[in-house]
Amino acid sequence: MLASVIIKTKDEAKRLRLVLASLSRQTVPIVAPGSRVGSGDLAAELIVVDDGSVDETPTLLDARPEGLPLARVRLDPNRGRSAAANAGAAAACGEVLIFLDGDTLAGPEMVEEHARAHGRAARPFFGRGEHFNLRCTRFFDDPETGTPRAGAEAQVRRMGAELAGNLVTREQVIERFDEVARRAHAGLYPGVGPRTLFEVEWDALVNHPGLPVLWMAASGHNSSLRRSDFEAAGGFDERLSINEHRELALRLQESGVPVGPVPGARTYHLTHRDGWRDPLADDSWERLFLAAHPRRDVELMTFFWRSLAADASIPERARLRTLPELAAAAAASDATG
């Protein structure tokens, strides 16, 4: 089986360099794009989609870091996350697509776990791996050198002698990845809220298979599905640049391709202070999502997130804290019309 790892990136060359280093030490071979793979063998091709970067990303890719064979797709001007993922999928030759972000390290077994999960699955599914974050990097422009981001100079200075212990270097990623993994925390971003959301979603995936709202537990990176299912669904909705993965997962679920967990497929987000988009701060995506899917569970999605965040405007007794609770609330509402 050939898996296609699609990395979408924009202006994050210093982190992308480390991501590519993590892919150089996978437990499956990385082969030239489009390679033929023998029956029963596992291998992966790499496709990097540069979504209009204006930093040193093109130079980095020209240098073929770690000697990795990779295919490059350049979008100019940039077109957003969904279009970048779709462009990568269009260039892919693998049976399985694995989506990764340009600021997220791949654990050594990530590719193999996704590929084997699809190989042994009785039916097609949208695979969700395990997310961790490296909160130590959030003030750095360059995680290898500790160069601070603009405006974060004071926070970096306060690290003092602890600065070296917060760095993530190419040598660590390639030679001593366990050191990096030990510093990680559950959740895509630091904080109680992201960790809680990860735990709630993972619990639903592992302990409540078949739950009708599992599409909400889909992820935009460290995710996988068969290329044929992705193409049949029409890919990501390019009008969306946030929660596009959940919208695709909902369409897939409606066609009989549910979301499921891929234990052991781990990624580690090199966190940062800018670029994060709060889905509760801008509801433009929500209007598009609901217009495409006028369903009660879609209406309850942001209510659920606000419940987890202990929004003071939601009475304690009314809060939804698990996906089974959300599914029950949506079903009850549908039953009463």
Q: What is the CATH number of the domain that holds 59?
A: 3.90.550.10
Same domain, 98 and 201: yes
Pairing of strands 223-226, 126-134: antiparallel
175 SS3 class: helix
Q: What is the mean pLDDT of residues 16-34?
A: 97
Same domain, 150 and 181: yes
Same domain, 75 and 182: yes
pTM of the model: 0.95
8 CB-near residues (< 8 Å, 6+ apart): 49, 51, 81, 84, 85, 88, 99, 100, 101, 102
Q: What is the mean pLDDT of residues 318-329?
A: 97
- Which pLDDT value is given to residue 252? 98
Same domain, 307 and 184: no
- Which pLDDT value is given to residue 335? 65
Same domain, 205 and 319: no
Same domain, 110 and 47: yes
| Encoded tokens for 266 | 């781990």
Q: Is the pLDDT of residue 275 over 60?
A: no
Same domain, 319 and 208: no
Q: Is the pLDDT of residue 278 over 70?
A: no
pLDDT tens for 26-63 read 999 999 999 999 888 999 999 999 999 999 999 999 99
Cα-Cα end-to-end distance for the chain:
47
Same domain, 100 and 208: yes
User: Which pLDDT band holds residue 241 (cuts at 50, 70, 90)?
Assistant: confident
Same domain, 103 and 59: yes
* Of 121-125, 188-192, 275-279, the least confident: 275-279
Q: What is the mean pLDDT of residues 200-224?
A: 97
Measured CA distances, 310 to 291, 307, 324 (Å): 27, 5, 18
| Encoded tokens for 49 | 């989609």
Domain that holds residue 311: 295-336
Domain boundary among 253, 268, 288: 288
- Which pLDDT value is given to residue 273? 65
Same domain, 58 and 112: yes
State how many domains the chain has. Answer: 2
Average pLDDT over the chain, rounded to an integer: 94
Same domain, 245 and 307: no
- Which pLDDT value is given to residue 217? 98
**φ, ψ for residue 219 (rounded to 5)?**
-130, 155
- Which pLDDT value is given to residue 38? 86
Same domain, 284 and 305: no
